[in-house]
Amino acid sequence: MRARILNFMRTKTLPTGHKVTDEGVVISAKLKRPMAQFTDTQGYLRLIVGGATRKVHRLIAEAFVPNPHGKPHVNHKNGIKADNRAENLEWVTPKENAAHAFLTGLRKQKLTPAQVEEIRFFRSMGAKLKDLARGYSVSQGNISMLCNRKTWKMI
């Protein structure tokens, strides 16, 4: 039964001899059955292939998703880290990946635009980085970068 189901999926063979399907399944070269996957601390599915721990979404993207611009990161379009179907994956730059995370709500902003303006005002009046960081519950580095317009450039 399992073999019939796998025949309907597109499969590609990795250099290790393992097969991957466009549905996010990795099949053991030795046992000819789907390999056990585990969730890492960041919520991504991983498995051990050829003695190394690999992220499943990366294996699937390398096999099925064209990367003509050589982008280094793989993004889950729907934001669900366990959905490793090839149609849900895309190659992105780090900047595109971060923007997607903010737009989909996967990553929350710690400050509002109004708070950024307040911080810049207080800093221009001589407030210390340490005091601003403590008052807004962010790091001194974050305060420094937003005051120097390395981040929050749009405000």
Evaluate the CA torsion angle 88, 94, 96, 102 in order and state its sign: positive
Residues 32-65 have pLDDT tens digits of: 999 999 999 999 999 999 889 999 999 999 999 9
Residues 12-31 have pLDDT tens digits of: 999 889 999 999 999 999 99
Does the pLDDT at position 1 exceed 50? no
> Domain spans of the chain?
2-103, 113-147
Per CATH, the architecture of 2-103 is what? Answer: Alpha-Beta Complex (3.90)
pTM metric for this prediction: 0.71
* Mean of pLDDT values over 93-105: 87
Helix/strand/coil percentages in the chain, nearest 5: 35, 20, 45
What's phi and psi for 71, nearest 5 deg?
-70, 140
